[in-house]
Chain A
Amino acid sequence: MTETITAVPYDEAIARYEPLIGLETHVELGTITKMFCGCPAAFGAEPNAAVCPVCLGLPGSLPVTNRSAIEYTIRIGLALNCSIASWCRFARKNYFYPDMPKDYQISQYDEPLCTDGWLDIVVDGIDFRVGIERVHMEEDTGKSLHVGGATGRIHGADYSLVDYNRSGIPLVEVVTKPVPGTGTLAPVVARAYVTELREVLRALGVSDVRMEEGSLRCDVNTSLAPRGASQWGTRTETKNVNSLRSVERAVRSEIERQAAVLDAGGRVIQETRHFHEESGLTTSGRSKEEAQDYRYFPEPDLVPVAPAAEWVEQLRATLPELPSARRARLQAEWGLSDLDMTALGNAGALDLVADTVTAGATPADARKWWLGELSRHANESGTELAALAVTPAQVARIAAIVASGALNDTLARQVLEGVLAGQGSPDEIVAARGLAVVSDDATLLAAIDAAIAAHQDVAAKIRNGKAAAAGALVGAVMKATRGQADAARVRELILERLGQAYPLRDP
């Protein structure tokens, strides 16, 4: 569909309109088996190898609810401050689609397991409380593969194949309430919410939350109302938003597009839109006016889900420390400012630093390595910090060797290079390269005397009280010792040698 509207620049759009956003996030649970049968829920099997009569929807087969999936969902609900229903049912969502074996999806409709919670996030130092409307369970569909044709889409394809391995994998859908008052921050708030939700899910250990692989999928609802208007505008639902960056871009792009529609005196159509990663734009899908009637009704093949109150309380009592609480604790333990914490978070270094501290490094050392040398490496190689070929334990070991005085920073960086290059553990590299700080004064004095002899003019300046000139001699000594000397000790010895022994050490 071609749309001739020219988007309004973001700042102008925000100046005239107030955005309202909402998010629906699908999370594939990391249970061992599928939602309603005993097939493995893991990725990677040969197509249609992890299937059975139930997840193929064969005539006569019946679903049986996976108790682990209910447990995971309750834990998610509790972590999001939701009420847990003491009795609820599954419902059938009816529509025809080749990759949906029963031509209905078992989901939850008006009786979700978890309702009415919230998730707090901080954006640019501003607190936002995102209301959670509901958290409910459903089953995933199979996956269609359209073969032939130019686009890989169904139109123009020669034939289609369906892989039902994914059919019946447990899904949880987390639906927010509309989030008002975000103003110009709307796209960033949307992204921050998904980021925080992902952290919560990761902390709970209920999903591998990989957006690229589709284990976390987002639909973004956006609407605009003229500033000062008493009513919210018509919303669109943007699908196919497969990365954190895309969440932000999708909201931004919808705001710019809807502003243009409204500016032109048009009306925003309630519809599903598709986000395109390459262009950063959305295009129209099917509109709600022509949308399906899903004919929801309670699933008669399943008994109601009625989690006992004691079970829910037991799950509540055994929730892990959640990301926000953990961040607050670490910030206090490490004595960091809000800004420092934000920097750690933005760099994706929080867990790495925490693990490095756990492995024995001081918080200061851990931060220094991850935000300094290692961030530089990550930038240069265009990867995430966590993807670097070095473990927090190795970083902690390098820091420990430096702290013992056996290596200086220069040498330590060489060790790190070796680790990143896959040459072994820090200790192996130190041993293999014979790296060690030269701390034998006699060896150092010989090198210093040689340096003084070679730089008589500099030596004279120092003798005359210009201690600052010692740097050139230190450099010469370091070079002569191939960096293996302790620079501070060298400087001390030079000053002593040239009659400028005071101060012995920097205060």
Chain B
Amino acid sequence: MDSELTRMTAAGIAALVAAGEVSAVEVAAAHLDRIEAVDERVHAFLHVAADSALRAARAIDDRRAAGQPLGPLAGVPLALKDVFTTTDMPTTCGSRILEGWRPPYDATVTGRLRRAGIVILGKANMDEFAMGSSTENSAFGPSRNPWDLSRVPGGSSGGSSAAVAAFEAPLAIGTDTGGSIRQPGAVTGIVGVKPTYGGSSRYGVVAFASSLDTPGPLARTVLDAALLHEAMSGHDPCDSTSVDAPVPPVVAAARQADVSGLRIGVVTELNGEGYQPGVITRFTEAVELLESMGAKVTEVSCPHFGYALPAYYLIAPSECSSNLARFDAMRYGLRVGDDGTRSAEEVMSLTRAAGFGAEVKRRIILGTYALSSGYYDAYYGKAQQVRTLITRDFEKAFEQVDVLVSPATPTTAFPIGERADDPMAMYLADLCTIPSNLAGNAAISVPCGLAPEDGLPVGLQVMAPVLADDRMYRVAAAVEAALGQRRGHPLLDEANGLGEARPGQEGRR
């Protein structure tokens, strides 16, 4: 039973718990056992909170025993990206500079998870301060892709994606600043969602780029992602950029799973040169599948998407150069060189030099430069203009179609170390995902098969207008259902990085 519990969907687990057929404690214990068994190899977690997880699970069981109502995800375990503050666990953001920091407050999302009865198993690994696409920038070592342990699980929410894909948790939460949920979701064969910017609260999310950061769910099914999306979202008075509007009906949309009559636009600019052939193959098949299900597919040009990557790499570093200034050794975290002979400024400088990794330093320097007097207009200012043009591209496109689609990533998961010394190659991993961060609209990555040449998962990205998150769930759920039916088993059954592919599934692509 235990190994089956970890293979179940979140919705399935919640139903069993609610029916009293399995206790939340059993569910939590099964997942903690699984973590114990595989995480040494996967390294999805930076911190496992076994005691507090079991305590939370017991509270759910007590509530059920007392006849109190349980939420739709009560008793379901979850891996929380280590960028959300938690009072009962450290919050490091994958950085030495915050090693051991225990926040005195819970993030809004953390609080909502707790109130929903979701059991937080621990904190998931990530690229340092969410800067990266592979988790190789984590100060505590990379996470590994359950499809092939020599490959990256994507990033920055790579610990979250690895945990879900390795059955260490049915659900995870990540943050998506330039693709940091969708890209890891795509390369590990799971669902990753970037809600509309402001749809989920940033309060208690250690900021990378404030105008882009968006918390969102990762799960093995579209419905599970939708359930978590609803549980974590909604207006938060503590985040003034949070949207004061009802959460789009994503769960209903995921159940609807119907695309008949829906107008789907294939983005001309997110295709072709530089894309792995197998990625294009699976993407094209998915589009044909949608058409066969009654969607009206057209090609739509978004002429400014080609400038999204450079604009992003000015805006995000600019904001991060300011957001990360507070790590100055004065109030919390690492302190280096405070031996009574040095000034506060020297201690700040020594601490930052020792505490930040190379990529973080690179982006702080980039951003500091882009905001400098005399360069602001040419860099930050220009990038903001590009951002406006990209937003207009989306607005025009959504006048013609209901959703846009593209591959979620240009390639499948790359080998650990391959791009570590080539930042430009690394940045290209987010080519398809960045436009939606700049425009603030919603986007999802849903698995659409394995690339023939390497047998690794490919993600289909569906982009929806601001606050129309439900639309993309309809499309993703329809694709998931159709492909699942065709395949006859869950895609993840074929993952063999841990030598656990289900018998008889090899080569069935």
Count how many pairs of residues, one from A and one from B, have CB atoms less than 8 Å apart in the complex: 103
Contact partner, A62, options B209, B238, B318, B330, Cβ 8 Å: B238
Query: Which residues of A are found within 8 Å of B107, using beta-carbon distances?
Result: 60
Docked complex Cα distance between A300 and B332 (Å): 24
Docked complex Cα distance between A98 and B345 (Å): 8
Judge whether B204 and A60 touch: CB under 8 Å: yes
As a 0/1 sequence over residues 313 to 332 of chain B, the CB contacts with chain A under 8 angstroms (1 = contact) are: 00000110110011110111
Judge whether A295 and B372 touch: CB under 8 Å: yes
Nearest A residue to B319, CB-CB: A300
Docked complex Cα distance between A56 and B376 (Å): 29
The yes or no answer to A498 lying at the interface (CB within 8 A) is no
Nearest A residue to B328, CB-CB: A103
Query: Which residues of B are found within 8 Å of A154, using beta-carbon distances?
Result: 343
The yes or no answer to B173 lying at the interface (CB within 8 A) is no
Docked complex Cα distance between A160 and B205 (Å): 30
The yes or no answer to B8 lying at the interface (CB within 8 A) is no
Docked complex Cα distance between A58 and B91 (Å): 12
Q: Which of B98-106, B143-151, B245-253, B414-422 contacts A (4 or more CB under 8 A)?
A: B98-106
The yes or no answer to B211 lying at the interface (CB within 8 A) is yes
Nearest A residue to B236, CB-CB: A62
Judge whether B322 and A53 touch: CB under 8 Å: no
Within 8 A of A (CB), among B340-378: 343-345, 348, 368, 371-373, 376
Judge whether B239 and A162 touch: CB under 8 Å: no
Judge whether A303 and B241 touch: CB under 8 Å: yes
Q: Say yes or no: A59-B91 contact (C-beta < 8 A), given A103-B325, A300-B211, A303-B241.
A: yes
Docked complex Cα distance between A57 and B241 (Å): 17
The yes or no answer to A94 lying at the interface (CB within 8 A) is yes
As a 0/1 sequence over residues 68 to 110 of chain A, the CB contacts with chain B under 8 angstroms (1 = contact) are: 0000000000000000000000001010101001111000000
Q: How far is the CB of A318 from chain B (nearest CB, A)?
A: 26
The yes or no answer to A64 lying at the interface (CB within 8 A) is yes
User: Chain B interface secondary structure, helix, strand, loop or mixed?
Assistant: loop
Judge whether A58 and B105 touch: CB under 8 Å: yes
Q: How far is the CB of B423 from chain A (nearest CB, A)?
A: 22
Most buried by B among A59, A102, A297: A59
The yes or no answer to B210 lying at the interface (CB within 8 A) is yes
Judge whether B376 and A297 touch: CB under 8 Å: yes
Contact partner, A59, options B103, B345, B373, B376, Cβ 8 Å: B103
The yes or no answer to A290 lying at the interface (CB within 8 A) is no
Docked complex Cα distance between A63 and B240 (Å): 8
The yes or no answer to A384 lying at the interface (CB within 8 A) is no
Query: Which residues of B are found within 8 Å of A295, using beta-carbon distances?
Result: 321-322, 368, 371-373, 376
The yes or no answer to A464 lying at the interface (CB within 8 A) is no
The yes or no answer to A65 lying at the interface (CB within 8 A) is yes
Q: How far is the CB of B333 from chain A (nearest CB, A)?
A: 8
Size category of the binding interface on chain B: 35 or more
Query: Which residues of B are found within 8 Å of A303, using beta-carbon distances?
Result: 240-241
Contact partner, B202, options A62, A96, A296, Cβ 8 Å: A62
Judge whether B239 and A62 touch: CB under 8 Å: yes
Q: Say yes or no: A92-B240 contact (C-beta < 8 A), given A58-B104, A60-B206, A295-B371.
A: no
Judge whether B332 and A297 touch: CB under 8 Å: no
Judge whether B105 and A297 touch: CB under 8 Å: no
As a 0/1 sequence over residues 406 to 418 of chain A, the CB contacts with chain B under 8 angstroms (1 = contact) are: 0000000000000
Q: How far is the CB of B82 from chain A (nearest CB, A)?
A: 11
As a 0/1 sequence over residues 231 to 250 of chain A, the CB contacts with chain B under 8 angstroms (1 = contact) are: 00000000000000000000
Docked complex Cα distance between A154 and B345 (Å): 12
The yes or no answer to B167 lying at the interface (CB within 8 A) is no
Docked complex Cα distance between A63 and B203 (Å): 9
Query: Which residues of B are found within 8 Å of A103, using beta-carbon distances?
Result: 325-326, 328
The yes or no answer to A423 lying at the interface (CB within 8 A) is no
Judge whether A60 and B207 touch: CB under 8 Å: yes
Judge whether B348 and A96 touch: CB under 8 Å: yes
Within 8 A of A (CB), among B92-140: 93, 98, 101, 103-105, 107
Judge whether B206 and A300 touch: CB under 8 Å: no
Nearest B residue to A37, CB-CB: B238
Q: Say yes or no: A297-B322 contact (C-beta < 8 A), given A60-B207, A65-B240, A98-B328.
A: yes
Q: How far is the CB of A259 from chain B (nearest CB, A)?
A: 32
Judge whether A59 and B325 touch: CB under 8 Å: no
8 new A-B contacts at CB < 8 Å, known A58-B103, A297-B322: A59-B101, A60-B85, A64-B238, A98-B330, A98-B344, A104-B325, A297-B318, A302-B241
16 contacts between A and B (CB under 8 A): A53-B105, A57-B326, A57-B331, A58-B85, A58-B331, A59-B101, A60-B85, A60-B204, A96-B328, A98-B328, A102-B326, A295-B372, A295-B376, A297-B318, A297-B380, A300-B209
Task: Name A residues whose Cβ lies closer than 8 Å to a Cβ of B.
Answer: 53, 56-65, 92, 94, 96, 98, 101-104, 154, 160, 162, 293, 295-297, 300-303
